[in-house]
Amino acid sequence: MQANTSSASDSLRAGNRVVAGGITAIVLILFGAAVFLFLNLPDANAFNARVERLFVENDRLTTGAEIKLLEILAQSGTAFSDVLASYRVVIFVLLIFATALMVAALVFLVTIVALNRRISAIQRSGIQVSSLLISRESLAVYINDLEFKLTEAAIETLSVLAEARMDDDVMTGSQIEGVISGRNAADCDEAAGATRIKRLRDALGNQLVSELLVKTIARRGYVLAVGKDVIRMM
């Protein structure tokens, strides 16, 4: 148990390091991109400087039309400066959104990978059931103190599987149907037993729990994936 705890802690620390390193890398990359963009944007006052130079170098422009043209150029330079400033703000906001989205994507990706690993570990080891109590009277099964209400048919199917597990037997669909119906297994249909297993899994509700608790062994049949010493019936 200590080894498992240590392994889990190491995995958690490794995952945290991956997330922290990924977030740092994303921030640095986008910060570098922001610096590159802002350094390569044209100077907002470049147009105004050119217009001012026109005023200085062309002091002979004294007619009304020429002065009006220079005024229009000056106003255009001011408008260009304002537009460029707004572009800087837009680029800054977009970079912030990109950073947030990439960080969120990284966190979600790491979370999904961690959950997949956890589910894979559960699938390999099966459900750790410390107690399984089947109550025919209340039509319920208690798994690790969790109560699952079942139908009478589902209780019968689970009871047959529990009795078979205590005898280390694997039950085929026809055998399950034969025990419940009181007929010879050879006279029963395999599909009828498979239907009972499906209804039992549906009654348990949680797909992961039901699939791992009632396991299907290829070409052999069905078995409860629990220790026979934890099974009790009443």
Return the percentage of the chain with pLDDT > 70, whole number.
67
pLDDT at residue number 4: 45
pLDDT at residue number 109: 77
What is the pLDDT averaged over residues 175-196?
88
Amino acid at residue number 226: V
For residue 21, pLDDT beyond 80 = no
pLDDT at residue number 12: 55
Residues 38-84 have pLDDT tens digits of: 777 666 666 666 666 766 666 665 566 666 666 666 666 667 677 77
Q: With bands split at pLDDT 50, 70 and 90, how would you rate the model's confidence at 34? A: confident
15/210: higher pLDDT = 210
Domain map (residue ranges) of the chain: 2-125, 132-233
DSSP-based three-state secondary structure for 7: helix
Q: How many whole angstroms separate alpha carbon 81 and alpha carbon 51? A: 12
For residue 1, pLDDT beyond 60 = no
For residue 135, pLDDT beyond 50 = yes
For residue 123, pLDDT beyond 70 = no
Between 35-44, 122-131, 140-149, the lowest mean confidence (pLDDT) is in 122-131
Q: Which of 100, 112, 111 is nearest to 23 (CA)?
A: 100
Q: DSSP of 163-228, one letter per residue? A: HHHHTT--B-HHHHHHHHHTS-GGGS-HHHHHHHHHHHHHHH--HHHHHHHEEEETTTEEEE-S-G
pLDDT at residue number 230: 77
For residue 124, pLDDT beyond 60 = no
Q: How many whole angstroms separate alpha carbon 57 and alpha carbon 49? A: 12
Question: Structurally, what CATH architecture does the domain formed by 132-233 represent?
Answer: Orthogonal Bundle (1.10)
165/227: higher pLDDT = 165
What is the pLDDT averaged over residues 188-210?
80
